[in-house]
Structure 1
Amino acid sequence: MSTIVLVIIAITCIFSYFGLNNTVLFEKYKFNVAAINNKKEYVRLISSGFLHADFMHLFFNMFSLFLFQGAVIQFFGEIGFIIIYFASMFLGNLFSLFIYKNQPWYSAIGASGAVSGVIFAAIAMAPNDISVNFLPGWLFGTLYFGYSVYMMLNPKQWDNLGHAAHLGGAFFGLVYSIALHPQLAMSNILYLGAMSLPLLYLSYEIFIRKRIG
């Protein structure tokens, strides 16, 4: 595993640990619509990606990052990985800000947007070369996004996690992959299509149903 990935995981774990044990720190750096729109605290678009709801949430995101980072670094290098990780984190939270702009109370935390970008970029390059508990990587990615979409569309089960950020992060990971390796990405279009189904359904629910309603 790359040193840069180890550093990101270490910083995320340390910052998450302090956030879980310090309410003031947690509240100051989590994603919050009112704080970003009214107080212009744009640092939350990045800092929230280093906070997690609990140790299971932290483990799931960092474990997913560990599984998929190798393919991303192999095809894009460490600089490419950094671009994908942080641009996906930023755009994922920016998309959340757009979705919840009229809900100032909305808050979220987690590296979900960044990890989503890494997953999509990895699957675009090597859909069958990654396995998670005997599941092919593309199927794990599909389930990962399916769960996120379900949680986002069921507010009664809202868990304070940044599920909406998955869409923006995944979008950047896919676009970046196609831009740099178009032929390889398009050769894996069926796997990417399967992983996109939950996100396409989410888009339908957000844009089409709201417009009809």
Structure 2
Amino acid sequence: MSITLILIILTSGISIYAWSHPNLLDRWIFHPFSVNKKNQWYRFVTSGFLHADWTHLFFNMLSLYFFGGVVERVFMSNFGYEMGIALYLLIYLGGMIVADVPTYMKHKKDVDYRALGASGAVSAVIFSGILFNPLNSICLFAFICMPGFIFGLLYLIYSYYEAQRMGGAINHSAHFYGAIFGFVLSFLLVDGAGLNFIEQIRGWRIF
């Protein structure tokens, strides 16, 4: 069984269980104030295995399913089975943690702020996949399709803008920093990934 599928099953199981066990949800959710005052650093990771509802869970896990397998195979083919899995988990869990650092710095004195979800980790995997295959089509709403590198650019612009605007309940900052983390770390880890990315984009034609 692939590590991507294991992550999907684990995250889905924990999220569903937590919906009917509010005490667990409260202990594991990302609460910067508790991290700061009580040194509950584990929340950087545990919150990534929680989701607000079925829609939140479905879209994160669907995105992980489509991109995770590709990224997983790239790391295994370059580093072998065990090291490949370790580096893939570094992308996923590292993205989960790094994505929440700016949020922590901003809200560590805010007793009411809470966040949850694997969006930072999933964004890291998506952008790792875009680095490896920038011309693969990504479709929005099943019919608006574009090459991955164009989607990635639009995604970063949108996430940055929404993070600055601080609108809605979505932590767009986590999306932005998770994406940057996944792309940069994959670039540093896989020899030739950056050159391959540039060469593929150079060869792209809109028609």
TM-score range, shorter chain: 0.7 to 0.9
Bigger CA radius of gyration? 2
State the TM-score, normalizing by the size of structure 2.
0.79
Structure 1 residue 113, shift from structure 2 partner? 0.9
Structure 1 residues 155, 21: closer, same or farther in 2, change over 3 A? Answer: farther
CA drift at 1:149: 4.1
Q: How many residues align?
A: 189
- Which residue identity lines up with residue 106 of structure 1 in the other structure? Y
Match of 1:176 in 2: 185
The aligned residue for residue 82 of structure 1 is 89
Residue matched to 1:52: 51
Code of the residue aligned with 2:183 in structure 1: it is: L
Could you tell me whether the CA contact under 8 Å between 1:67 and 1:130 is conserved in 2?
A: no
Q: CA deviation at 1:148?
A: 4.1
Q: Which runs of 5+ in 1 are unaligned?
A: 193-213
Q: Which amino acid aligns with 1:44?
A: R
Task: Give the Cα separation in 2 of the matches to 1:167 and 1:130.
Answer: 20
Give the counterpart letter for 2:189 in structure 1. L
Distance 1:190 1:16, change over 3 A: farther
C-alpha deviation, 1:93, in angstroms: 1.8
Cα deviation for residue 74 of structure 1 reads 2.2
Cα deviation for residue 91 of structure 1 reads 1.2
Paired position in structure 2 for 1:15: 14
Q: TM-score, normalised by structure 1?
A: 0.77
Q: Which residue of 1 aligns with 2:106?
A: 99
Distance in 1, Cα, partners of 2:20 & 2:165: 28
1:1-213 correspondence to structure 2 within 5 Å = 3-77=2-76, 78-132=85-139, 133=142, 135=145, 136-142=147-153, 144-145=155-156, 148-149=159-160, 151-157=162-168, 159=169, 161-188=170-197
Match of 1:207 in 2: none
The 3 A distance-change label for structure 1 pair 137 and 67 is: farther
Q: 1:137, CA displacement in angstroms?
A: 3.1
Find the aligned partners of 2:123 and 2:13 in 1 and give their Cα distance: 21
Q: Offset of 1:16 from its aligned partner? A: 0.5
- For the 8 Å contact 2:4–2:69, the answer to whether it is kept is no
Question: How many percent identity over aligned positions?
Answer: 36
Q: 1:156 to 1:69 in 2, by over 3 A?
A: closer
Root-mean-square deviation over aligned CA pairs: 2.5
Pick closer, same or farther for the CA change 1:49–1:33 going to 2, 3 Å.
same
Distance 1:189 1:101, change over 3 A: farther
Unaligned runs of 5+ in 2: 77-84, 202-207
